[in-house]
Amino acid sequence: MKIRAPRETGGIDDKLEITVPKVFVVMNDDKHRGELEKALTKYFKLTVFSDSNNAMRALETESPDVVIIENDIKPLGGARLLVQQASSPPCKAGVLLTRDQGEDFTVSLENATCAGRYLTWPFPAKQLMDAITELINENALKSWEDLPETQAKTLKLTVDEYQGIADAIASGEPINYNSAAESCTPLVDAINEGGHHDLLKNVQAHHNYTYVHSMRVATLLTLFGYGIGMRGDDLLVLSTGGLLHDTGKLVTPPNILDKPGKLTEEEWPIMRDHVVESGNLLDAGDDVTKGAKIIAEQHHEKIDGTGYPKGLKGAELNELARMSAIVDIFGALTDERSYKPAFPPAKAFAILESMETGIDQNLLALFKEIFGGDAASGL
Ligand SMILES: [Fe+2]
Ligand SMILES: [Fe+2]
């Protein structure tokens, strides 16, 4: 691979961050309120209210992604609260908890629509999680429609593709590499047009974290490749490899994959297995490129041999493996999760620079310049 000099450098933007969805829970009933708080607090920025007046006051200044409210909340009533606050600021989504049989719930006002669902007590926690996720994702898709065409197309195609990949894996079918590459074609165009900042920011509206992380890695990897002079099919391999690099996580047990905080000694090997699984899943399909396989199989390797799964080192790791290791760590450090803040890019770079022997410091310096150079023009 020929490395070209990066573009002019600038300051590093400190504003790149992922947002954990904000959820309000508005409930009179102490027991149910406590149960919901326990089930949801690991995954969302949760604010809990025991009456509708306080919730209404908070809604004057805050705009949560989803309001979960019991229908007979005192004194206003859940449906009325959702309707009232749907006018200004716009209600994003509501889940109305009822004691009677309900149906799909949509509050439409003159200029605002509040997407929503009914859930009837008792319901399993998963049903509520699914309803919240669906509502957040519906709103993400809606918000992407306002982006420039290439970016909107990139997010729409890749999110559909990722869902298709998840469905294929669930039913034991192979990943269609060519279809994944096709979904990434507008990503290459969007990077060409300088749209990476909007992509990195707006993809976060979606609630499938593995998709969001994969898309951010695909975007950063494509930006990196573009910055060092790669074009055409070579660049598309980076985009597609980025999108597919963690597909093995689609078979990782959710209780380990989504576990907030540290994994136990028993859980780590299962988590690490996602790399081998990614390789196996790609091997099972046709037409997979060598570059995409390297990205999937070696993005956790370190040049000092301390990485996994094979502990490859030095010359055993080519530029693609080294670039994907940098971008994967950078992407994860600059993400906000419910259990950790998003590190500003400058801090993420400082951490990567402190990994002196594990990370290719020459490539890191190039990536920092490419990323920083774009920060000067607004990233
Ligand atoms: Fe990974
Ligand atoms: Fe990753």
Is 160 part of a structural domain of the chain? yes
Rounded mean pLDDT of 55-72?
86
To the nearest whole number, what is the mean pLDDT of the chain? 86
15 is catalytic: no
What contacts 124, CB < 8 A, 6 or more positions away? none
Residue 9 lies in a domain: no
Q: Which band of pLDDT confidence, cut at 50, 70 and 90, is reported for residue 260? A: confident
- Residue 97 — very low, low, confident or very high, per pLDDT cuts 50/70/90? confident
Q: Which ligand is nearest to the CA of 272?
A: 1
Single out the residue in 99, 115, 138 at which a domain terminates.
Answer: 138
* C-alpha of residue 26 to centroid of ligand 1, in Å: 37
Q: For residue 177, give the CATH number of its domain.
A: 1.10.3210.10
Q: pLDDT exceeding 70 applies to what percent of the chain?
A: 86
Residue 268: pLDDT band (50, 70, 90) is very high
Does 10 have pLDDT greater than 50?
A: no
Q: What is the 3-state secondary structure (H, E, C) of 29-52?
A: CHHHHHHHHHHHCCCCEEEEECCH
Q: Do residue 192 and residue 303 come from a single domain?
A: yes
The residue with greater pLDDT, 279 or 29, is: 279
Of residues 282 and 9, more confidently modeled: 282
Same domain? For 126 and 152 the reply is: no
d(CA 358, CA 352): 9
Q: Are residues 200 and 306 in the same domain?
A: yes
Neighbours of ion ligand 1 (CB under 5 A): 246
20-52 confidence digits (pLDDT tens): 889 999 988 888 899 899 889 888 889 999 988
How much distance in Å is there from the Cα of 328 to the middle of ligand 2? 5
**Of 154 and 86, which is predicted with more confidence?**
154
Q: Which of 138, 155, 176 is the last residue of a domain?
A: 138
Choose between 51 and 152: higher pLDDT: 152
Give, in order, the Cα–Cα distances in Å from 262 to each of 152, 177, 327, 366: 35, 33, 22, 31
CATH at residue 100: 3.40.50.2300
Same domain? For 156 and 264 the reply is: yes
Of the candidates 323, 318, 306, 332, the residue with the CA atom closest to the CA atom of residue 364: 323
In a domain, 13, yes or no: no
What is the chain's Cα-based Rg? 22
Q: Which range marks the domain in which residue 123 is found?
A: 22-138
Total tally of structural domains belonging to the chain: 2
Give residue 278 CA to ligand 2 midpoint distance, Å. 11
Distances (CA, A) of 317 to 227, 228, 295, 349, 359: 20, 18, 11, 21, 11
- Of all ligands present, the nearest one to the C-alpha of 329 is 2
Write down the catalytic residue from 249, 293, 302, 368.
Answer: 249
Instruction: Indicate the pTM of the whole model.
Output: 0.86
Which residue from 358, 221, 214, 348 is spatially nearest to 274, judged by alpha carbons? 214
Of 69-78, 83-92, 138-147, 180-189, which gets the smallest average pLDDT?
Answer: 83-92
Report the separation in Å between the CA atom of 264 and the middle of ligand 2, taken as the mean of its atom positions: 19
Select from 84, 117, 138 the last residue of a domain: 138
Report the interhelical angle of 345-354 vs 319-333 (nearest 10°). Answer: 130
What is the distance between the alpha carbons of residues 333 and 348, in angstroms, rounded to a whole number?
6
